[in-house]
Amino acid sequence: MERITRTDDRVHRPAGPWTPTVHRLLAHLHEQGFVAAPEPIALGDVLETVSFVPGVAGDYPWTEDVAGEAALVTSARLLRQYHDAAASYPRDPDADVWSQAERAPVETIVHGDFAPYNCVYDGIAAVGLIDFDTAHPGPRVWDVASAVYRFAPFTTGQVEGATAPHLADRLARAAEFCRAYGLDDRSRGVLVQTMTASLVAMVTTIETEAAAGNPKFTSDLEHGHADLYRADVAWIEQHADDIAAAVA
């Protein structure tokens, strides 16, 4: 399992083959003025050290602040700021190693798991973005679709602390996230299919990694995460027309 520890203003995390590339990305973000991400400090054979981003992560159950509209809007704006800063990352095919496959069309370096639990909040405002292990080149809509799925939320499961149990409320939150981000019309047109594609990709990753003996994904599989994502794909496809109309 992951071993993440904090010492004062530093966080120590397991390192992977992609971590040197992530550190270059984090350094680039700070050079671009995006200081809401951790700053790379050190890299060893098995552990990395990055700066601690102060605030409270939006873990479940959501607090009233995290579940509110202000957190939704500021999270969307934070994602846009991140994408704009990451778009100029100087990619190097000979040096870059990402944990995820590149996705076309490449518009930026996507975060890969943009969700409330990877955002840091100061009260009602999103002020930080953490855990870049799944970052990789791809289209902006890949992150936006994942975010809309998590923030609306469009799931058949119970999201503790969520305040949008009815479809109309979830559709309104999805539309507000896209508006606050400033998502272009082309991306809005493929948002629903991108959302389902990202869920299918997560199921594939869980099952593949679990079969390879990865303890984190074995636990995810045992706790029914793959089954939940499959059910969510079916639910999203059932409501695809309503979602597409809401975000258009």
Q: Are residues 13 and 84 in the same domain?
A: no
Mean pLDDT of 208-215: 91
| 44 and 95 share one domain | no
Residues 21, 98: contact at Cβ < 8 Å? yes
- Asked if the model's pLDDT at residue 95 lies above 70, the reply is yes
Residues 233-245 have a mean pLDDT of 97
pLDDT tens across 27-42, in order? 999 999 999 999 999 9
My answer on whether 169 and 216 are in the same domain is: yes
Look up the domain containing 11 and give its range.
Answer: 5-51
Same domain, residue pair 97 and 214: yes
And the tokens for 126?
């999103």
Residues 110 and 133 grouped into a single domain:
yes
For residues 223 and 100, state if they share a domain. Answer: yes
Could you tell me the pTM of the whole model?
A: 0.95
pLDDT score of 190? 98
Segment 110-128 shows an average pLDDT of 97
Domain shared by 94 and 31, yes or no: no
**Same domain for 147 and 166:** yes
Which residue, of 34, 51, 68, is where some domain finishes? 51
Which residue is it, tokens 């930080």?
A: 128
pLDDT digits 0-9 by tens, 41-84: 999 989 999 999 999 999 989 999 999 999 999 999 999 999 99
Share of the chain above pLDDT 90, in %: 90
**Local confidence band at 160 (pLDDT 50, 70, 90 cut-offs):** low
**118 shares a domain with 15:** no
Specify the number of domains making up the chain: 2
Backbone angle region of 182, left / alpha / beta, with phi > 0 → left and psi within -120 to 50 → alpha: left
Cis status of the peptide bond prior to 153, with omega within 30 of 0? yes
Cα separation, 18 vs 186, whole angstroms: 31
Q: What letter represents residue 223's amino acid?
A: H
| Helix 69-86 with 167-181: angle, nearest 10 deg | 40
Locate 115 and state its tokens.
Answer: 């969700």
> Structure tokens of 53?
């981003």
